[in-house]
Chain A
């Protein structure tokens, strides 16, 4: 019987397999940031261990860092200590670090692909749950905890129970104006936040094939939001074209050897998945969340649901709690929901294509008077690229704040946060209670919907806007 892509990649990395034990997997790339690594390095020191393969490790500063005045010392003393601790650890153990102010600094899941370090068939881990982003290249990539960060630093391997496999096949093409973000929000609302538990998911089908690498990363990024261990997509010409000529991509004969191997990384015709989900791309429309988990979403054209309509008792209770927290009344058209702040950024939608999509909507338009729009590129290079294309001018002319690179308001451990009760439309991946600051209310949206919402001041898609004459 044939093998799935996930099984092929997994099997290529098994260092040791024994009955009754999880497989010991070799890790090709270990990404590190300031928020989840300090205690791991402490553990290493306490045990008198060292980093086994510094050359398979990359560190950056992203979660905590300010997106204004990034060339000055960080003013929050706790954040500063955490960032300095990472710098000291990187220096002590000889690790490559892209610190604040460096041109390659940025969100860990944006810089890996951008440097060309994320390649098909790899195993990639990071002390961050959105590591599955790298799966867009046909890699097995997953988030780990701090104890596991220490484990990988010390051994470059990780014991892991083999997950089951799940295929999500999306037939047909996405309609114009519908993005990868809408597709993944649509999927999660269908299957629920635990629908992928225990699985490695392969996203496939025509609609997935037609996505750019950026769109594929948006999809894989949110695998964890429906409980999956990891999400991946078979590498193809789109993948190879993206990697080619990236700073760390192979060249010459080595490139040919790499591509020859990558081309074998496809699910065999006769491979069997443990579970399959089939979607029709034509059904997907601009999609937003109304609740406090990523599964509580609906088409933008719908209204806030009535909890009484939920058949499952637990879903009903959860919806009631969510509406109460979100300050929403059942039956309110989603398009009538007034938003205070719009955030465009994060590892879900902070790449160049996302900024282009948002700028295309904002060109010649203005952000609504009582709405604030924050545009935070996922990496410093994305910022530079956007500036080269003149996107920064579009944002600034529209009245947006054009910021430095980092996680920013996605998780609000830097100064960018919402006030209690403040409502946002956010291109990030989590709408949990308090995620963007204590008492914050988050609606997850695509970059296009975010931009249109900023213009109208209420949840909106570009189709809802008056024509712009530029």
Chain B
């Protein structure tokens, strides 16, 4: 996985709450067996509306999504993270994330930055005044900055932060504890079910 330190890009205000992963990518777009090409499905139903924010020229190259609370609830589909990434997003900022979405983001290298609800509102205000304005998200210092005066901190769990900063592969990390897994396995009760 690539190392992640800081990112600066066009902020996209998505002023909705409860954006579940069925909205981020409807199920019909999940049938691909590859790991790429999910950008077509991103917000597919909403993008049919010409007024939808991603259809605006100003936000065409947006990379920092600023969304309402409870972003990424619902289905566990990691495709939601891939669709955002394939479309070009590097960061999602919200005041609350669905648990599984947050986990998936951390694994796939999309930064899910959790901020206070007031900070989301400030960022939206900033973007309303400065359409196409840039937002910088610094993982090292855990800060979001925009314009001349806006500087706020964000939350991310320390383990995910360390992994992203160092570009560590989660599976390799677990495999480095193989001896502990083996010793755990030796102590498992014999009556636990098996499938084969």
Contact = CB atoms under 8 A, between A and B. Distances in A.
Interface of A: 15-16, 20-22, 24, 26, 28-29, 35-36, 38-39, 42-43, 47, 49, 54-58, 64, 78-79, 81-82, 85, 94-96, 116-117, 119, 122, 127-129, 143-148, 150-151, 154-159, 161, 193-194, 197-198, 224, 227, 229, 248-250, 254, 257-258, 261, 293, 314, 317-318, 321, 411-413, 430, 432-435, 438-439
A318 B159 CA distance: 34
A269 B25 CA distance: 45
Nearest to A321: B16
B103 interface: yes
19 contacts: A15-B177, A15-B181, A28-B193, A39-B78, A42-B33, A55-B196, A81-B33, A85-B33, A144-B100, A145-B107, A146-B79, A156-B181, A157-B177, A248-B194, A293-B18, A412-B28, A432-B23, A435-B22, A438-B45
A199 to B, nearest CB: 10
Contacts of A143: 76, 100
Interface stretch (B6-14, B132-140, B184-192): B184-192
Contacts of A127: 76, 78
Contacts of A28: 192-193
B27 interface: yes
Interface residues of B, number: 57
Contacts of A122: 192-193
- Going nearest first, the 7 A-B pairs with the smallest beta carbon separation are A147-B107, A145-B104, A145-B78, A38-B33, A143-B76, A129-B76, A55-B196
B158 A96 contact: no
Interface of B: 16-18, 20, 22-23, 26-28, 30-35, 45, 68-70, 73-79, 81, 96, 98-100, 103-104, 107-108, 157-159, 170-171, 173-175, 177, 180-181, 184-185, 188-196
B195 A197 contact: no
B107 A148 contact: yes
Contact of B74 (A35, A129, A250): A129
Given A122-B192, A433-B23, A36 B76 contact: yes
Contact of B170 (A147, A193, A194): A147
A119 B34 contact: no
A381 B190 CA distance: 28
A197 B99 contact: yes
Nearest to B68: A314
A117 B194 CA distance: 8
Residue of B16, B23, B103 with most chain A CB atoms under a 10 A cut-off: B103
A468 to B, nearest CB: 37
Contacts of A26: 181, 184-185, 188
A194 B96 contact: yes
Residue of B28, B74, B173, B185 with most chain A CB atoms under a 10 A cut-off: B74
Contacts of A249: 193
Contact of A261 (B69, B70, B79, B189): B189
B26 A145 contact: no
Contact of B184 (A15, A198, A229): A15
Contact of A257 (B28, B73, B81, B191): B191
A220 to B, nearest CB: 16
Contacts of B20: 293, 430, 432
Nearest to B194: A55
A155 B157 CA distance: 23
Contacts of B173: 159
Nearest to A226: B73
Given A157-B174, A432-B20, A55 B195 contact: yes
A150 B31 contact: no
Nearest to A85: B33
B191 A254 contact: yes
Nearest to A413: B27
Given A145-B108, A147-B78, A159-B159, 5 more contacts: A145-B77, A157-B181, A250-B191, A435-B22, A435-B27
Nearest to B157: A161
B124 to A, nearest CB: 13
A82 B31 CA distance: 7
A57 B158 contact: no
B76 A145 contact: yes
Contacts of A412: 27-28
Contact of A144 (B35, B98, B103): B103
B79 to A, nearest CB: 8
B159 A20 contact: yes
B76 A117 contact: no
A293 B69 CA distance: 14
Nearest to B175: A155
Contacts of B191: 250, 254, 257-258
A227 B98 contact: yes
Residue of A36, A129, A150 with most chain B CB atoms under a 10 A cut-off: A129
